Structure 1
Amino acid sequence: MLIIEVTNAREVMRERIGLLGDRLIGKVLDAEAQVEKALIQEIELSFQEFGIQARIVSVQGPKLTRDNQLEFPIKVRQEREVSFKDE
């Protein structure tokens, strides 16, 4: 199992939408969810190219602590099944 924690989602979105849009981050726009959505799309394409079947789940809630432990609860934001493409 892989766990990827995006630690600079706000900065990535700030670069994408500019300084004016920065005011929307956290109020209207969930930077973490948007970055995760883009990552899931890229991971899905890569997995399909390599023939990897997987379940990718974007969740809200868990935090990685300083002593490398996960804290819960989990709220699922998005889930996608990755399977072989029909040719």
Structure 2
Amino acid sequence: MLIIEVTNAREVVRQRIGRLGERLIGRVVDPEAQVEKALIQELETAFKEFGIEARIVSVQGPQLVGRQQLELPIQVREERDVRLIDA
């Protein structure tokens, strides 16, 4: 199992929407959800290319605490099953 924590979501969204949109970050735009959605799309494409079937779940809540602990109060934001299509 992989856990990927995006640690610079606000900066990524800020670069994408520019200075005018910067004020909207956190009010209208959820930077973590936006970056995770883009990552899920890229992972799905890559997984299909490598023949990998997987379940990718974007959740809100887990927090890494140092290097030894993961807190898991979660709320699922998005889920996608990656399946290979038999030809």
In the superposition, the TM-score normalised over structure 2's length comes to: 0.95
Map residues 13-52 of structure 1 onto 2, 5 A cutoff: 13-52=13-52
Aligned length: 87
The Cα RMSD (Å) is 1.0
Structure 2 counterpart SS, 1:29? coil
Identity %: 71
Amino acid at match of 1:14: R
1:68 CA displacement: 3.1
Structure 1 residue runs without a partner (length 5+): none
1:85 CA displacement: 2.8
After TM superposition, the runs of 4+ consecutive aligned structure 1 residues lying more than 4 A away are none
Counterpart check, 1:53 vs 2:41: no
